[in-house]
Amino acid sequence: MDKLENILEQFNDLDTERTFNDYDSNKSGVFAIFAYLLPILFFLPYVSDNNSAYCKFHSNQSFIWLLTVIVVGILCSILGLVPIIGFIAKRIFFPLFVLAVDLAFVVGSLKGKAYRLPFVGSLINIF
């Protein structure tokens, strides 16, 4: 478990995490979880408290996660045209990728962390 936490800490934005307070993560944590598990609900944490740094951060990350799932889904569908590679991409890689990232985001939001999606997590700031 320590190795997993060390891996996830590489994606933690400590400066952003310092702006969070415990009250926000306890109060709005459920909304952040729903936003990660169903990325179409990315706005839920922001709607719950639009003055909270915690809620704004998790709404942004959930929105980026939604865009990433769409793009990776399209790429897997294109790869789906190739017989064996397509099956592996669509039926194995894509669901495992989504599950792993969802779990990491959910664990991070419960712990009050500021995990950013690698490569694209800091590109968009709409909230």
* 100, 8 Cβ separation under 8 angstroms: no
pLDDT in tens, 9-23: 888 888 888 889 888
Q: Whole-prediction pTM value? A: 0.86
> 62-98 as b/e, with b when 16 or more CB fall inside 10 Å?
bbbbbebbeebeeebeebbeeeeeeeebbeeebeebb
DSSP reduced 3-state for 81:
coil
Calculate what percentage of the chain has a pLDDT beyond 70: 99
**Amino acid at site 12:** N
C-alpha radius of gyration, the chain, whole number:
15
* The pLDDT of residue 62 is above 90: yes
Residue 53, both tokens: 């740094």
* The pLDDT of residue 127 is above 80: no
